């Protein structure tokens, strides 16, 4: 049975976000500057279906959530999905470099390909591509704009520092993550 693609628009401290679901699985979290200026034909506005994602994002921005507990189904190539799964292992409030991420997936010479896959992440914030920075600590490319990346990293650092002795982590085991096999 064909399920309609649902979407909802929510406000956030980093600007409006468009949430997209296929059935009950979240397939997209897009900033206002994404190519998704208007929903494609056939998409259905459904705030009720996307309410759990909207609530969890609001909790994240309020500093009350350090990991997401949502069914996810990002669409991409097998390599992209591997990179996105590795992004989930970056602890909340911490960063890593593209090279470190490439080594983590067993492809030590693929830092540019990792950067490209990072840039194609359809689940901004939820799959934390904002936690990847340049090897020198610089705020390198971010599809959601560098200013948003800085806001997200600053928020996570403040929350992390306010909870001494706690180390919050995200991993694919902690999330109900179902990576779609579609490309």
Active-site residues: which are they?
129
CB 26 within 8 Å of CB 20: yes
CA 27 to chain centre: 10
Q: Alpha-carbon torsion 61, 58, 76, 180, what sign?
A: positive
Any residues with CB less than 8 A from the CB of 63 and at least 6 apart, and which? 155, 158, 159, 162
Q: Of 160, 101, 89, 149, nearest to 125 (Cα)?
A: 149
């Amino acid at each position: 049975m064909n399920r309609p693609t649902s979407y909802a628009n929510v406000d956030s401290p980093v600007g409006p976000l468009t949430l997209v679901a296929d059935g009950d699985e979240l397939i997209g979290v897009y900033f206002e500057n994404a190519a998704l200026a208007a929903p494609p034909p056939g998409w259905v506005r459904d705030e009720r279906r996307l309410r759990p994602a909207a609530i969890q994002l609001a909790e994240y921005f309020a500093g009350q959530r350090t990991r997401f507990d949502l069914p996810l189904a990002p669409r991409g190539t097998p390599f992209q999905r591997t990179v996105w799964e590795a992004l989930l292992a970056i602890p909340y409030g911490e960063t890593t470099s593209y090279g470190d991420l490439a080594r983590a997936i067993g492809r030590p010479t693929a830092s540019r390909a990792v950067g490209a896959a990072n840039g194609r992440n359809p689940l901004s914030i939820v799959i934390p591509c904002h936690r990847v920075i340049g090897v020198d600590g610089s705020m390198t490319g971010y599809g959601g704009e560098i200013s948003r990346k800085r806001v997200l990293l600053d928020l996570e650092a403040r929350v992390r520092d306010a909870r001494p002795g706690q180390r919050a982590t995200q991993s694919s085991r902690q999330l109900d993550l179902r990576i779609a096999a579609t490309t």
